[in-house]
Structure 1
Amino acid sequence: MTVGVVLTSTSTVPGIDTTVELAKEAQEAGLRSAWFAQTFGYDAASLAAIVGREAPGLQVGTSAIPVFGRHPLLVSSQAQTAQAATHGRFHLGLALGTKHLTEDGFGIPYERPIARLREFLTALRPLVATGSADFHGELLTATTPLPAKVPGADPPVPLLVAAMGPQALRVTGELADGTLPLLAGPRAIAEHIVPVITAAAAAAGRPAPRIVAFVPGVVTADAEAVRETATEAFAFYERIPSYQRVIELSGATRAADLAVIGDEETVAAEVRRYREAGATEVVFTATGLGGEADRHRTWKLLGELAR
């Protein structure tokens, strides 16, 4: 099973040179993938392309670029450029985003998100595959009067969606290659995510979808203190309806309850639980949990599990 790490999150964004060094360290530890959050600062796809060039043993991906405020033609250009730069190791993660960030940040209404996701993926799929599109929907139009295929952008960029609700999962299973759930524990993955997305993919004649579980976690000797930090760090998600739902479906009451915190044996056991629940890949995100010594311990363990 592939095991990876998030190198930039919405709360932790080191400089580019530092990020590259962290990626090289992750690769040396045996980790297989590095992921980058989209913020209002760095462009996640560009950062993934840079890191993928500097650390050629890593798969790289975005987790995740909101579809609101973007257009399939422009996202396709970004994704194909990153794919060509990394020689086929780029994974495009998309998201619905949130009402708050969409309306306050872009000044556009957060309306019909599932319909927008469906149209976005429908237009994007042929763009990354062939460089052409002729899509005219209710919410989006994407046509290519000029060629839009980037040389070397092969194989076609995998499309993943941070989908956790049933409607988003059905669209993702039908039109994308997998999902990127965050704060979805093994119970929610096994009972609510895998069945819905797998059925949708099968009905559409698509391969079994990837389930890339993003898991907050760290190996540490001071689990109690780190748990307190996690409670503060993840409280933001408890105000977002989609996360409220998946936290509850996971059998938890707070987001921090889903953080994997403890010694090597504890963390390894939890990673196995995600795999048994149906996760095809596990990606750890520390989000400021623990110190440097904890990060080294965590990456060492994850590298061993990846082997």
Structure 2
Amino acid sequence: MRIGVNVGHFTGRPPRDLVGKVRALDDAGFASLWFAEAYGSDVFTPLAFCAAHTSRIRLGAAVAQIPARTPAATAMTATTLDHLSEGRVVLGLGASGPQVSEGWHGVPYARPLARTREYVEIVRRVLARREPVAYDGEFFRLPADPDGLGKPLRSSLHPYREALPVHLGAEGPRNVALAAEIADGWAAMFFAPAFDDFYRAALDEGFARRPGGRPAGFEVVATVPVVIDDDVERAADRIRPELALYMGGMGARGANFHHDVFVRMGHGAVAERVQELYLAGRKDDAAAAVPTAVVEQIALIGPVGKVRRDLDRWESTVVDEIAIQGLPDDVAVVASLL
């Protein structure tokens, strides 16, 4: 099991001594370093910053928001960064949700799977640079040609790698199947080893639609909260507020895909209670309503020995790499899990 780190997106301000921390991860042998974006810090600037201060570690977007950029702009950024990092980039893409897509970017969210399919196809064409890119889709048209002046173009920058890996962020089974069908990997969130069969079936459905089946090198990278602490309950308390945010406060009632994950896991009553409390402004009560058993299903918490034993549950799943959520407090301790 490979171990990486997903820093996520910055809230408030960037972490202090980011240079020292990412260099420590690079030196310690962590497999990868990922960043995310929501409606504050972007995903690519930190990756470029870290490319300049590391030499070995993979650098991934987990994920770049599809509504935030045109497909060509995303491909331009990814291939530029791939050159500057000497081939260490993984481009993770995700549809985000209606609140961010429509409320922040002003882009309609309707039919996200169909939009994602077109987006990935254009990104791949730009990255491959085999011919000028022309595309006539439902959501994207190149050239747009409202006045007859546009023409198909080919990137002036040659790719460092034509096959730069593209991952899809997905939670629901249809989206997971789409990742297996059109991408090089799945960026998983709130993955629970106990539901490995469910996700394995979704992946197999997508691979069955793909010419040639599962491609060599397809990988599953799961972002997982990890808290090393001799007190399990205290460790769970570190994670409960964020789970409450995602379970109860992301999106609107009836349109929260993170909430739906926990419902599918059989925690419908918990998810409903957490959502009620969170949307009522009772955030502390919402966090307290998340049982430790639920935390332990999607996180690794407790003393080092317990975390190592719990990590064994992941070894037989579809997950190839765990990306620890957040910068570790003690890199040396977490590195002992490698």
TM exceeds 0.5? yes
Q: Distance in 2 between matches of 1:295 and 1:279?
A: 24
Q: Compute the displacement of 1:202 (Å).
A: 4.3
Partner AA of 2:225 in structure 1: P
| Greater C-alpha radius of gyration | 2
**What amino acid is aligned across from residue 191 of structure 1 in structure 2?**
D
For residue 272 of structure 1, the aligned residue among 306, 309, 312 is 312
Partner of 2:259: 244
What amino acid is the match of 2:329? R
Structure 1: distance between partners of 2:92 and 2:120: 11
Q: Which of 185, 188, 197 lines up with 1:178 in the alignment?
A: 185
**Residue 225 of structure 1 aligns with which residue?**
234
CA distance in 2, matches of 1:305, 1:236: 28
Does the CA contact (< 8 Å) of 1:35 and 1:63 recur in 2?
A: yes
Q: Using the TM superposition, give the Cα deviation of residue 152 of structure 1 relative to its aligned residue in structure 2, in angstroms.
A: 5.2
- Deviations along 1:22-60, one digit per CA (max 9) or x if unpaired, are 110112222111111114333312321221231111101
Alignment of 1:116-127 (within 5 A): 116-127=115-126
User: 1:263 and 1:182 mapped to 2: Cα distance?
Assistant: 23
How many residues align? The count is 296
Select between 172-181 and 235-244 the one with higher mean Cα deviation: 235-244
Question: Which digits, 9 at most, give the CA deviation of each residue in 1:69-106, with x for residues without a partner?
Answer: 32110000011011111111000111110111222212
Structure 1 stretch 260-269 or stretch 140-149: which is displaced more? 140-149
Give unmatched runs, 5+ long, in structure 2: 144-150, 251-255, 271-289
* 2:34 counterpart of 1:35: yes
Report the AA paired with residue 303 of structure 1: A
Q: Distance in 1 between matches of 2:234 and 2:12?
A: 19
Matched with 2:274 is none
Structure 2 counterpart of 1:194: 200
- The amino acid of 2:304's aligned partner reads E
Match of 1:7 in 2: 7
Change in Cα spacing, 1:107 to 1:155, as seen in structure 2 (3 Å) is closer
Q: From the superposition, tell whether residues 125 and 151 of structure 1 become closer, same or farther in structure 2 (CA, over 3 Å).
A: closer
Whole-Å separation in 2 of the counterparts to 1:184 and 1:216: 11
Residue 65 of structure 2 is aligned to residue 57 of structure 1: no
CA contact (8 A) 1:119 1:137 kept: yes
Q: Evaluate the alpha carbon distance shift between residue 109 and residue 193 of structure 1 in structure 2; reply closer, same or farther with a 3 A threshold.
A: same
SS of residue in 1 equivalent to 2:81: helix
**CA contact under 8 A between 1:163 and 1:181: conserved in structure 2?**
yes
Residue 155 and residue 89 in structure 1: after superposition, are their counterparts in 2 closer, same or farther (change >3 A)? farther
Q: CA RMSD in A?
A: 2.4
Distance in 2 of aligned mates of 1:12 and 1:213: 25
3-state SS of the aligned residue for 1:180? strand
Q: Which moved more, 1:97-106 or 1:76-85?
A: 97-106
Q: Is contact 2:235-2:302 (8 Å) kept?
A: no
> 8 Å contact 1:163–1:179 — kept in the other structure?
yes
**Taking every aligned residue pair, what percent have the same amino acid on both sides?**
24
Match of 1:291 in 2: none
Query: Does structure 2 retain, via aligned residues, the 8 Å contact 1:159–1:177?
Result: yes
Amino acid at match of 2:4: G
Which whole-Å deviations, capped at 9, do the CAs of 1:124-164 have from their partners, x for residues lacking one? 11212226422210011245733315345225321001112
Please say if residues 37 and 63 of structure 1, whose CA atoms lie closer than 8 Å, have aligned partners that are also in contact.
yes
The match for 1:300 is: 332
What runs of 5+ residues in structure 1 fail to find an aligned partner? Answer: 288-293
Is the CA contact (8 Å cut-off) linking 1:87 and 1:152 kept in structure 2?
no
Q: CA deviation at 1:118?
A: 1.0
| 1:259 maps onto 2:265 in alignment | no
Partner of 2:281: none
Q: Measure how far apart 1:251 and its partner are.
A: 5.1
Give the TM-score of the pair, scaled to structure 1: 0.87
Q: How does 1:23-172 map to 2 (within 5 A)?
A: 23-130=22-129, 132-142=132-142, 145-148=152-155, 150-151=157-158, 153-172=160-179
**Under a length normalisation based on structure 2, what TM-score does the superposition of the two structures give?**
0.79
> Aligned to 2:222, which of 213, 224, 228?
213
Q: CA deviation at 1:170?
A: 2.1
Q: Which amino acid is the alignment partner of residue 222 of structure 2?
A: A
SS at match of 1:243: helix
Shift of the 18–220 alpha-carbon distance from structure 1 to 2, 3 Å rule, reads: same
